[in-house]
Structure 1
Amino acid sequence: MNGMALTNDDRTHVKHAPGNGRGFRAAAGLTPRWLWVVAAGLFLTALNLRPAISGLGPLLEEVRHGLGMSGTVAGLLTSLPALCFAVFGVTAPRLARRYGPAAVVLAGMAAVALGTALRPLAGGTGVFLATSTLALAGIAVGNVLMPVLVKRYFPDRIGTMTGLYSMALAGGTAAAAALTVPLTQAIGGGWRTGLGVWSVPAVLAALLWVVVLLRERRGRRGTGETHGSVRPGGENGARREPAPRIMRSPTAWALAVFFGLQSTGAYVTLGWMPQIFRDAGVPATTAGVLVAVIMGMGVPLAFVLPRLAAGMRRQGGLLAVLGVSGLAAYAGLWLAPAAGAWLWALLLGVAMCAFPVVLTLIGMRARTGAGVAGLSAFAQSTGYLLSLPGPLIVGLLYDTTGGWDGPLLFMIVLMALQIGIGFLAGRDRCVEDES
């Protein structure tokens, strides 16, 4: 449809989402050549969805000392992403219907750029939390609308494009975790410089979406379409489909709970894993690289696993394999954190790839664009809300016990629950049928 042959996983998605590809190029006002620009926009946006978080982990100890944070407040800081994603992510579908998903993602990238640029200027915890919240609000709308943008611009290639942006998301996460400390040392200026540098790629992403929106507007003018004839957030100018009642769907709830459990693991990893390694005697730079290895595993696997998941009728077995890898990693960190650090990082990196798989399931478990938007907002916002206590509990357990045995046991229990919920989330059902 866009000049590229359909793969098996893409045909699977067309089967699950009939009729969503009708005239999408005309509705977007873009030629196939310009769809490559949209793909670049998706890639660059995904690249910016985690550096504001993963870049903080390796410098958390320095930030705590610089701003006078206690362990409990630091735990709250590591819970802040989940809180912002839950609160701001739920607003994304309504904003997208009014202004269009691309325009909202543009605003989100602008917020990320501004928040990450202002955060290093904070003189106290309050300002640091406020500027972090601004950046995280921009990330939140990007989280929810990425599957919507894929459904809108590439309805016949959902598996491939989800894999592409998931790979970019993992790459951005790993790059920030690995490079923040070396950049801080090379540039100078302490932790403030190391955090502020990540505003630059967000500016580039925002500029690319400006180009896409200007081209869409020019395309609509060229075809004589008015603003009212093609809704900015609509599907191809066709009749808007009513959104299903997501909260009545057991599959939506399974996806939300699974999303919450895997998010808990991800944010505990981003927020506390560098400290776990450092407390085990691993140097700070190496601890950052180990976290980069964890997230970097998602670069190749995030491109492969969504395509693999899309070719399956049920994905519970695949999610179980990823969960068992996580169980082995946490057990290893409990028993020999320094001696097997690289192995535990690799295993935990495999477990973290549950994230691109669940993103793929969001695209597969709804037939319409409205259904995907509603399911994405519900699963992500509810999931992030459920994940809120996790990093805070880890911080409290660490402060209370003075070690990592309690937090790691807590993570083992959550991973076992994630495996069980994965079988429910992986069933071959659509939310429209259940709601």
Structure 2
Amino acid sequence: MSRALAIVALTLSTLLWATAALQGWWVDRLAGEATRDALPVDTLVDPAALPTPPRLPWSGGEAAREWARRLVPLSGDTSEPRALLEASLRERPLYAPIWLDLAELLASSGDQEGAARSIRVARALWPERAVLQQRAAWMQVVLGPPDAALAALMDYWAIAPGDGLRTLGLARRLEPAPEALVDAAAHVWSRAPNEASVYQRGLLDLARRAGDLALAQALWARLDDKSRASEDLLFPYLQMLATQGRHAQADAVWEQALGEPPGLVNGRFEEPLVPLGPDFRPGWATPGWRYHATGDGFRIGVEGPQGDARHHSLRIDFLGTENVDLAQPSQIMRVRPGSSYRLRGYWSGEDITTRSGVFVELYTIATRPVVRAQTPPRRGSWAREPFELEIQVPEDCLLVTMRIRRVATNALDRRLSGTLRLDTLEFQPLPND
């Protein structure tokens, strides 16, 4: 029995020795030929050659690492914590956090070159561990130089785009030139595991929050036509241009990306209306109607031509059960800054109750003040007849909303009933005087 145990022990020792040797070889490869000679402690490359730490009752491992971390703030002498970390690396040379601990220790003792090398080894060992890469990047920012710090930040951002605002904020300080920062970011989105738009949105968000129009423009210049037509990139960029008073430029960007303003889409209701689902994400100016098919006290739908109308009609039925506060269907339309527009259409009413009637409204988005145009509120019954609204778009306006409104009231007859129909809606620019 004792002989069998001896054989097993010898076998395990041989396997452990072989594993340690193999791990040491991989660490040596990760460190790179260029950095091997720069390390003042060459023995770190070969775990088997590490000296035995003095006065230690254990072989190393996590216990040595933890004890080293406790000793560092207690004394200015780094020799014993360093010996503990070296002992830990002998047992676990591929455990990246130990290499970062060693880097921190070397940096505190003035060995900048050794600290930089240990950071590179740690990053190479665990390239997809976000927490490790974040710590390494932050250490490299403190250690420098700026180009190495920027590279470390970009590697972390590649696997953690959700932390982009903070990461890119640091990167912007290291590389204030917009084109150079966009170049570094483009290198990330060309090889990163996520879609390129994830990183592009992150960079644009940083530019918007910082009010850095030059950075946003540098990013925009790097995007392809498909990316420029994406709402997630186009509309934040347009908002940024509009916020800084560059409305003519915003209009030109929009036209280049999506063409001429389409006006009011599906104003004859020949195309089906698709109600908003729970996953709907309202874009800044997504063409088409926005509405919920049912609500408290009303129903919205489309029916065939009624009376002398030649086209389908939008129909809203009020059920007489609720004090309806209606603000739909609605449609957001792109407009030219400083232009005038006219909304035309036909409507009819059937037994619409309450003194708070229904009306059609136009209003500008994101302008100060908001410009509004409204029809007089209607109630009762009336045959199909035309209505018309005109609105002067301010110089700081890119969007106008058209919607059907009824304002809730405290009157006794507040429960709204009846039917409203609209058809043949058009929204067009007026000729310049």
Quickly name the TM-score band, shorter chain normalised. Answer: under 0.3
Structure with the bigger percentage of helix: 1
- Pick 1 or 2: higher relative contact order, CA cutoff 8 A, min separation 6: 1
Structure with the bigger percentage of strand: 2
TM-score (structure 2 length as normaliser):
0.21
